[in-house]
A and B are shown apart, each in its own frame.
Chain A
Amino acid sequence: MSNNKLNKTSRRDFLKIAGATGAVSAFAISGCAMGPSGTGPRVVVVGGGFGGSTAARYVKKFAPDYRVTLIEPKTSYVTCPFSNPYLGGLVDLKTITHGYGGLSKAGVHVVHDMVTGLDAANGTISLSSGKTVEYDRLIVSPGIDFKWGMGYDEAASLISPHAWQGGSQTVLLKKQLEAMDDGGTVIIAPPGNPFRCPPGPYERASMIAHYLKAHKPRSKVLILDRKDKFSKQGAFMEGWKKNYTNIEWVKATDAGTITSVDAGARTISTEMDTHKAAVLNFIPNQKAGKIAHTMGLTGGGDWCPVDQITFESSVIPGVHVIGDAAVVSGMPKSGNAANSEAKVCAWAVVQLLSGASEVEPAVTSNTCYSLVTPDYGISVTAVWKATPEKYVSQGGGVSPADQSDGFRKQEAEYAHGWYANITHDIWG
């Protein structure tokens, strides 16, 4: 850190010299008229998903005088949460699409650009537009990228979508479901651990089964898993038994290891069999988003190791990593967890920039709803206390078994309520 401070001093000296000689420096972007409002420390956030957008908003909320910049290439964001109800026909695309106007109104300087590099020694990032942005603390929320293989790559995903990032992939999968003939099989191949949204593939199976039951009653969903158990398994299975005859889950031990995927032929082969799909939804194994690797935040691994209290990178000081890309022991990779991590991180960043010598461990939580049918919701929740090693559970749990129809309906309604409120918290 002391090197970093020295370098920052040198940079200020450079700016003084540059100013005195009339040179125009790209370094000056954060101080220009179009920059962020405020006079306090500069916090730059990279990535406008659940983690990054929350972090930007809450730094500004916790410390209104801070100059907060959010850098995100896209001008609107389609969420992964509630993309399954979209596939099931419960909500439209507009409902799960969010702009950045709310963040701008909250005082966050939103820049639609792509980050191309990090110069941590000098506290700057470079953008594809050629600009350079200075930071006092950087928060990166990279999201996920895929470990392509077995014949399935990015080109293949344009034929048989993974739909594990919101947007065109989600829309393509829905179009294929609508176009398929009745009597076909939709194959979902969930990824191996760890991956974004552990209950997601099983909610997806539920929502597609709901759509098929109403529109293509001779069709079915086959889940070929790479695991022998999954999140909220008991609650999902109880819901499936009660509501569906068109879902079959095959655990990894019975399915056999997947050996190849042919997106064009819509087949998936295991060491035991080859399965033909009408619609193939192969979801690849995952790693931290590209920007994490570009910035060197993974330390050569798949994910980004971080301090569990502050989310500061274990690899690069002064840079914090949150959301699915970060290794946060005890917490799932979920949109709500990213929102919670962002708030804890925003809190830590404000404390550190205000001169705190250490940050007090936070208590935080996660709430995750899944829809089995439009009127049947289930949830898992947790409250954690941060420790240097991991997030230790203080309470929580999965929806109990054997509840009334009214209980399930209320959880389904609360799922919609959660979505409306968390997205309003972030982008509203």
Chain B
Amino acid sequence: MRKIIKGAVVGAALLIAAPAYASGDGSAANQGNLNSALLVSNCVVCHGQGGDSQGHTPSIDGLNRAQMLNALTEFKSGARKGTIMTRIAPGYTDAQLEAIASELTGN
């Protein structure tokens, strides 16, 4: 699966034309930071291109959008245990996690 690549490799014109996602919490401070290709470019450094890990970090290419979002949301709330994702996920707004889940799963 190469969903991230498919999602990230889009033409410049499309990128520029893409509207910013509406922020989930509606605050001005969180507007316009949801460009999903850029957001998921940080995920691949541990989980691999397309979520296909080259090493011991978990591959995440088998998850659907609901599973992905559920994992991210649970890491954020602390409901799910982990080593590092419990520290990373709280750094994102709910709207950003939604955008990440969509981009990672191509949905």
A residues in contact (CB < 8 Å) with B: 40, 58, 61-66, 336, 339-340, 343-344, 347, 350-351, 353-356, 360-365, 367, 379, 381-385, 393-397, 399, 407, 410-411, 413-414, 416-422, 424-425, 428
Determine if B20 and A58 form an interchain contact, defined as CB atoms under 8 angstroms apart: no
- B106 contacts the other chain (Cβ, under 8 Å)? no
List 15 additional contacts besides A347-B38, A363-B33, A383-B92; criterion CB under 8 Å. Answer: A62-B8, A62-B37, A350-B16, A351-B15, A355-B16, A365-B88, A367-B88, A379-B83, A382-B91, A384-B91, A385-B29, A385-B33, A395-B91, A396-B91, A411-B83
Distance A339 CA – B43 CA, assembled complex (angstroms): 12
Whether B38 and A362, one on each chain, are in contact in the complex, defined by CB atoms closer than 8 angstroms, is yes
Residues of A within 8 A of B45 (CB): 336, 339, 367, 418, 421-422, 425
Most buried by A among B13, B32, B83: B83
Known: A64-B9, A361-B33, A363-B39. A381 touches B88 (CB 8 A): yes
- Count class of interface residues, chain B: 35 or more
Q: From A354, A384, A411, A421, give the contact of B47 (CB < 8 A).
A: A421
With contacts A361-B32, A414-B46 taken as known, whether A66 is within 8 angstroms of B12 at the C-beta atoms is yes
Report B1-33 residues with CB < 8 Å from chain A CB.
8-13, 15-16, 20, 29, 32-33
Q: How far is the CB of A228 from chain B (nearest CB, A)?
A: 26
> Does A424 lie within 8 Å of B92, measured CB to CB?
no
In the complex the two chains form, is B32's CB within 8 Å of A360's CB? yes
Could you tell me the distance between the alpha carbons of A383 and B75 in the complex, rounded to whole angstroms? 14
Residues A418 and B46 in contact in the complex (CB < 8 Å), given A367-B88, A395-B87, A395-B90:
yes
A386 to B16 CA separation, bound complex (whole angstroms): 19
Q: Nearest chain A CB to B77's CB is how many angstroms away? A: 13
Interface centre among B32, B46, B49, B53 (most CB of A within 10 A): B46
